[in-house]
Amino acid sequence: MELKRVVVTGLGAITPLGNDVKSTWESLISGVSGAGPITLFDTEKFKTKFACEVKGFDPNQHFDRKEARKLDRYSQFAVVSAKEAVSDAGLDSDTINKDRVGVIFSSGIGGIDTFDQEVGYFFQHPEMGPKFNPFFIPKMIGDIAAGHISIIYGFRGPNFGTVSACASSTNGAVSAFDHIRLGKADAIITGGAEAAITISGVGGFNSMTALSTRNDSPKTASRPFSGSRDGFVLGEGAVSMVFEELEHALARGAKIYAEVVGGGASGDAYHLTASHPDGIGAILVMKNALDDANMHPDEIDYINVHGTSTPVGDPSEVKAIKEVFGEYAYKLNISSTKSMTGHMLGAAGAIEALTCILAVHNDIVPPTINHEEGDNDPEIDYKLNFTFNKAQKREVRAALSNTFGFGGHNACIIVKKFTV
């Protein structure tokens, strides 16, 4: 069976760096931090008092009040980003075959804010009995964003969400890629959304000592690969991408950002939350993706790393890159855009895939910000080009995005310049 070619024809975003793709990308290449004090709840009793929130978002500008009440914040983000992506792709509902357009949209946690509110109300008012909002379950579940997007547009193709913690939206994107290249769909809206800057979200990650507590300097708190890193910064938002079969895209005259050429998955089989210290799962997932793309390591120019700014995770990923790429690793550009967006959990893979797509499209690599001269970790090889603090212009023929999730879930996707 001859596999179909898959291209990217539409992008949408609402992130801590901007409420659309243009502003998000401009902030990424300018090295802007999206971190600041948490405004979504009172943090007085919390160890961490800052995060990378989406700013200036009013759901009433995007939904009527009745509709907005049916969507958790994460689903609101998902729908807004999907609308931008579908519009950007120029998908005309009147001319496409909706039976062959799908939605594979992911979230690692789903409607945690809805869960907090509903269960909190129950325990505050036990005399009321088990009185829950009828929209409680459909607002909370992690697949519902895909359902909303499908219903809005009438897309009847493959429709589901993937859950693999912080690898969720990369796994979803790879699944979308597979569906299209196997001929099971003409186009799929894929991406991820998360809105976990909540009492239980921040409290839970704090209890694991996973979050930075650099409350005196939020904007410099996410500092991947620096010696003084002390944990990740929680982010929120959504990114959508339109993946499309090449001939379908060409037939309707669609613009093409990049081509999707490979994807991989692996498991660490090691620990619930920590990556393997020798990067065994990370090595395997990158090799799997390169094999799937039928590419040699020296055909990659940029890696958007998982790079969460945690003490254990960053060195293990560096070891994995050196193992997979050998001496060529020193010719790569590497960057962690989590230094700017924070860790968007189930949406991390989507924002980082978008970054790779635009890096390939524009021949520029966003930086890893917040590294200070001499703030080094002896376990990290600083001869590698981490693109510290300033974007770098270079030809980006192909880019690889790594995402690793709690549970040892690893996923990787590769995009390259489109040529006929």
Catalytic positions, written as ranges: 166, 306, 343
- By CB neighbour count within 10 A (0-12 exposed, 13-18 middle, 19+ buried), where does 203 fall? middle
- By CB neighbour count within 10 A (0-12 exposed, 13-18 middle, 19+ buried), where does 327 fall? exposed
Instruction: Give the count of alpha carbons within 13 A of 293, CB side only.
Output: 28
Q: Residue 73 and residue 140: Cα distance in Å, rounded?
A: 10
Measured CA angle at 207 (ends 15, 171), to 5 deg: 45
End-to-end CA distance of the chain: 21
Sign of CA dihedral 303, 308, 309, 310: negative
If you write DSSP's letter for every residue of 307-326 in order, what string do you get? Answer: ----TTHHHHHHHHHHHHHG
Enter the tokens of residue 357. Answer: 């797509």
Q: Compute the CA torsion angle 96, 98, 99, 105 (nearest 10 deg).
A: 120
Buried-exposed string 108-137: b where 16+ CB fall within 10 A, e elsewhere: bbbbbbbbbbbeeeeeeeeeeeeeeeeebe
Is the separation of the CB atoms in 408 and 267 below 8 Å? yes
- Per the listing, tokens 């619930």 go with 272
Sequence-ordered alpha helix ranges (H) in 125-211: 136-140, 144-153, 168-181, 199-207
- Other Cβ atoms less than 10 A from the Cβ of 52: the count is 30
The 3-state DSSP class for residue 51 equals strand
- What are the CA-CA distances from residue 198 to residues 24, 87, 117, 207, 224 (Å)? 23, 31, 10, 14, 24
